[in-house]
């Protein structure tokens, strides 16, 4: 979401007193208190920082009640109590608005295994679709470094460079990242974009574009076999006009149901960059529309299950859907089957798997775009389990609106990495 850079420090200062207690929410509105020194609380009453410590005292008294008074955890999110700021994601050239969050699977070039890579969507002028940098964070040393800085204009990438949530690092060390570029920060001047291939030192080696690649947007689901890989990426830009093209019925920018989910199959020879072998549209008809604050709204989160079901978040329709046989099908499943809709979801965006829960399969963890909650979903039971507020910035309404985006599980499964673009930081939620 587009934010004014000068507000970042002011918001951070106002926000810090609210990190000492947190509340989660189950479907139906029931709340569960979560203890933790660095967890946040939901600012339900709208009070300012001056009253934070009084409210904190009440929260700590409540936490002293017998544990039996609280329901047992039903999933993964209820075990995450601590929220820690790791690093700023603003680069020396002023790029901001962090989007993708990727954990490195191997050590290669500049990158060490388990480093966290984060890209920026905006430049120093805060124009969306103009960010060109990727930063790395090394948990073992707490060091932050610049992984890549790309040119704004790239002949192989229609429209230029604006890095999105579509990013992955392969076991072979290559990094692939999507570009959804703009000249003025809106979709009125957007290009079709491309997929950019970087070596492990952050150097450009290739860019893929073409009729099926139109504004790579959401986080990637990946099957990585070393010498080959399958990528699933949402393409949100097909025939999308600028935000001034208004639907007279809704008084909002027009909705185009032309967004797709594209499967790309890659070949990776030793010491050679990946080559694109085939492309198949496995999902289409998803809703997308321009938005001045969020650039565009479209399918964003992708998560592949062990049974080859691909789960997709569709923010405009406020739904998570499922595409069966995603790695092998030769046709489109349309928007897939509905898994869950509405409830705790509010413009669902990025999505990741939790570790196995209670001896069963993992659950889906979904960032909301319209508020600061992270939602847990059991896709097998097709049931929403729980939501935790992880961003309560009341500079937006509802709190945290537009502040969350990228999401990734920590390597040990004990927490999640996420970004807060209101203060341009990488965060970790843990136990």
CA distances from 346 to 317, 329, 333, 349, 429 (A): 10, 30, 24, 9, 20
**336 falls in which pLDDT band (50, 70, 90)?**
very high
Say what the pLDDT of residue 24 is.
64
Task: Specify the pLDDT at position 28.
Answer: 61
pLDDT of 75 > 50? The answer is yes
Q: What is the DSSP string of 68-105?
A: GGSPPP-SSGGG--EEEEEEE---TT--EEEEEEEE-S
CA distance 71 to 78: 10
> Is pLDDT of 189 > 60?
yes
* Of 193, 167, 178, residue with least CA distance to 111: 167
At 396, the pLDDT band (50, 70, 90 cuts) reads confident
Q: What is the pLDDT of residue 37?
A: 30
pLDDT tens per residue across span 232-244: 999 999 999 999 9
- pTM for this entry: 0.87
**CA dist., res. 377 & res. 385, Å (int):** 5
Q: Would you say 88 and 144 are in contact if contact means Cβ atoms under 8 Å apart?
A: yes
Residue 111 has what DSSP assignment? Answer: B
Question: Which residues have a Cβ under 8 Å from the Cβ of 72 and sit 6 or more positions away?
Answer: none
Residue 145, phi then psi, degrees to nearest 5: -145, 160
Q: C-alpha angle 324/330/331, rounded to 5°? A: 75
pLDDT band at 2; cut points 50, 70, 90: low
Is residue 23 predicted with pLDDT exceeding 90? no
DSSP state of 208: E
Structural element, H or E, at residue 409: strand 404-409
Specify the 3-state DSSP secondary structure of 272: coil
Where is average pLDDT lowest: 20-24, 64-68, 99-103? Answer: 64-68
**CA separation for the pair 5, 189 (Å, rounded):** 23
- Over residues 250-286, the pLDDT tens digits come to 999 999 999 999 999 999 999 999 999 999 999 999 9
Alpha-carbon gap, residue 260 to 315, rounded angstroms:
14
CATH 2.120.10 fits 5-96+214-430, yes or no: yes
Phi and psi at residue 393, in whole multiples of 5°? -65, 110
- pLDDT over 90, % of the chain: 79
């Amino acid at each position: 979401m587009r934010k004014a850079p000068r507000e970042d420090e002011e918001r951070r200062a106002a926000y810090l007193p609210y990190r000492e207690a947190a509340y989660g929410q189950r479907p139906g509105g029931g709340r569960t208190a979560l203890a933790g020194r660095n967890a946040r609380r939901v600012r339900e009453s709208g009070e300012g920082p001056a009253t934070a410590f009084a409210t904190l005292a009440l929260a700590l008294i409540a936490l002293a009640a017998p544990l039996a008074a609280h329901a047992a955890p039903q999933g993964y999110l209820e075990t995450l109590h601590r929220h820690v700021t790791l690093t700023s994601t603003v680069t020396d050239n002023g790029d901001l608005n962090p989007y993708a969050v990727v954990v490195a699977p191997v050590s290669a070039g500049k990158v060490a295994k388990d480093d966290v890579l984060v890209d920026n969507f905006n430049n120093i002028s805060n124009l969306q679709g103009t960010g060109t940098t990727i930063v790395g964070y090394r948990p073992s040393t707490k060091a932050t470094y610049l992984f890549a800085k790309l040119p704004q204009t790239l002949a192989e990438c229609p429209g230029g460079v604006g890095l999105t949530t579509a990013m992955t690092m392969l076991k072979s060390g290559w990094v692939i990242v999507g570009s959804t570029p703009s000249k003025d920060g809106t979709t009125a001047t957007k290009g079709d974009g491309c997929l950019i291939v970087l070596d492990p030192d952050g150097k450009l080696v290739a860019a893929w574009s073409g009729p099926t690649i139109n504004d790579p947007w959401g986080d990637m689901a990946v099957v990585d076999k070393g010498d080959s890989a399958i990528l699933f990426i949402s393409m949100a830009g097909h025939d999308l006009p600028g935000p001034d093209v208004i639907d007279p019925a809704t008084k909002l920018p027009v909705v185009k149901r032309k967004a797709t989910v594209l499967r790309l199959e890659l070949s990776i020879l030793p010491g050679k960059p990946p080559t694109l072998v085939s492309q198949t549209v496995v999902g289409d008809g998803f809703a997308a529309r321009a938005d001045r604050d969020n650039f565009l709204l479209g399918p964003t989160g992708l998560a592949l299950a062990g049974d080859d079901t691909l789960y997709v978040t569709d923010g405009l329709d406020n739904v998570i859907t499922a595409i069966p046989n995603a790695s092998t099908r030769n046709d489109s499943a349309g928007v897939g089957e509905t898994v869950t809709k509405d409830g705790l979801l509010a413009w669902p965006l990025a999505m990741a798997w939790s570790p196995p829960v209670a001896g069963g399969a993992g659950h889906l963890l979904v960032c909301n775009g319209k508020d600061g909650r992270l939602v847990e979903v059991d896709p097998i039971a097709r049931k929403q389990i729980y939501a935790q507020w992880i961003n309560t910035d009341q500079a937006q309404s509802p709190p945290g609106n537009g502040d969350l985006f990228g999401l990734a599980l920590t390597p040990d499964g004990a927490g999640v990495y996420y970004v807060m673009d209101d203060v341009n930081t990488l965060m970790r939620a843990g136990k």
